[in-house]
Amino acid sequence: MNTTFIVIGLSDCREQFFSPYVKTLIQQGKVFSGGRRHFEIVSSLLPEGFQWIDIVVPLQSSLEAYKAHKQVVVFASGDPLFFGFATTLQREFPQSEIKVYPYFNSLQSLAHQLTMPYHEMHMVSLTGRPWNLFDKALIDGEQLIGVLTDKKHTPVTIAERMLRYGYDNYVMYVGECLGNETEERISKLSLEEATQLTDLRHPNCLILQRTYARKRYFGIPDNEFYLLNGRAKMITKMPIRLLTLNVLDLTERKVFWDVGFCTGSVSIEAKLHFPHLDIHSFEIREEGDELMKRNAEKFGAVGIQHYIGDFLLADVENLPRPDAVFIGGHGNKLYEILEKINQYLQPGGIIVFNSVSENSLNEFRESIRHIGKEIQSSVQITIDSFNKIEILKAQ
């Protein structure tokens, strides 16, 4: 039996307004579902003898309970198709009929209260989701960013993250308990002020409005990085870095591993040019930890995951498998590193290596042949008085 779902969007108001048609749907319903907050709002409107199914996390018990009923009326917040429960129902019950009767989503409601045109707003949900799409919006420099929050990703933690990476070029508007006649509160805050919030009401959401555009490099000058013991030679030079990124062809890639990141220059440049990337970077030197943190924060390269220790001993089993890898350092263990990478590289994935000597060039070519890959391209470049670099791409 396929269950039919009627999904009705609610505001946080304790006296809901429904059209006559939606009122009829509620009065004719027998089985209802929603969160506890939704039940508090609509319980007085439900017909006698109703059955209620709580939506609780994890969702599996609620979803299983639906299967016993021909029709379920579900109450959800705002627009159920905007990061909402109707999309969950579509995924879990692809053969079921789903009818949606939405209310304004919370970001629309906040924009309405601020009389703020929002047709160009970039909207991100951090409700039970990781930071990556929010980080991308920051790096992209979106003019308006609407953010759905939760009790982990709060206005406080969001402001702290932005300030840590130098994104102080936004003002924050926070909407709390929107639609609730007694609890609703709207605030305009600097990011510094937002970090001091102590009495946040839930649920809440926020809008970030850019005040000015951050400087963006097309190739960060080498002398702008914090260097390993101040050694200018211990960094992939900017022209080589950009050519390396070109060879890596990261536009359509999803997961990038940087093995031997040293100062973090390649990872940081990759993140700033391709902010959609999930980047995981490895460095054996302990100094790399502080270098990556300081350089990533300085240039706003938010979201890079980095690991200190011998890559050959690193537990990468639970990391996302890469479809692009750059080897920036190998400690005379190039073959062993390539063998390990080959275990996790996605089909069609590429490996790029910058050779600085005839020995490393020959070793890479031989090692690539041993792991069943082929050299697809090779580019030579010389910068100033430094040795010739050969950038090789294997697939």
Residues 6+ apart with CB under 8 A from 262: 228, 234, 235, 283, 285, 288, 291, 328, 329
List beta partners, residue 176. 185, 204
Side-chain-side CA neighbours of 175 within 13 Å: the count stands at 21
Q: What pLDDT does residue 9 have?
A: 97
- Other CB atoms within a 10 A radius of the CB of residue 101 amount to 16
- Other CB atoms within a 10 A radius of the CB of residue 320 amount to 15
Alpha carbons 33 and 50: distance in angstroms, whole number: 10
Asked whether 79 and 102 are in contact (CB, 8 A), the reply is yes
Q: Which pairing describes strands 324-327 and 71-77: parallel, antiparallel, or unpaired?
A: unpaired
Q: What percent of the chain has pLDDT over 90?
A: 91
Dump pLDDT digits (tens) for 79-89: 999 999 999 99
Asked whether 96 and 5 are in contact (CB, 8 A), the reply is yes
Residues 6+ apart with CB under 8 A from 191: 159, 162, 163, 167, 168, 170, 171, 172
Whole-number average pLDDT of the chain = 95
Q: What pLDDT does residue 350 have?
A: 97
Q: What pLDDT does residue 393 have?
A: 97
Q: What pLDDT does residue 1 have?
A: 76
Alpha carbons 174 and 187: distance in angstroms, whole number: 5
**Backbone dihedral angles phi then psi of residue 72, each to the nearest 5 degrees:** -130, 130
**Backbone dihedral angles phi then psi of residue 135, each to the nearest 5 degrees:** -60, -40
Please list the ranges in the chain whose pLDDT falls under 70. 232
List beta partners, residue 329. none
Q: What pLDDT does residue 14 have?
A: 86
What radius of gyration, in Å, describes the C-alpha atoms of the chain?
26
pTM of the model: 0.92
Q: What pLDDT does residue 176 have?
A: 96
Dump pLDDT digits (tens) for 75-113: 999 999 999 999 999 999 999 999 999 999 999 999 999
Dump pLDDT digits (tens) for 195-214: 999 999 999 999 999 999 99
**Backbone dihedral angles phi then psi of residue 287, each to the nearest 5 degrees:** -60, -20
List beta partners, residue 101. 8
Asked whether 12 and 179 are in contact (CB, 8 A), the reply is yes
Find the distance separating the first CA and the last CA of the chain, reported in whole Å.
49
- 185 Ramachandran zone, left/alpha/beta (phi>0; psi -120 to 50): beta
Alpha carbons 177 and 204: distance in angstroms, whole number: 6
Q: Which pairing describes strands 324-327 and 255-259: parallel, antiparallel, or unpaired?
A: parallel
Nearest alpha carbon to residue 12 among 265, 184, 169, 153: 184
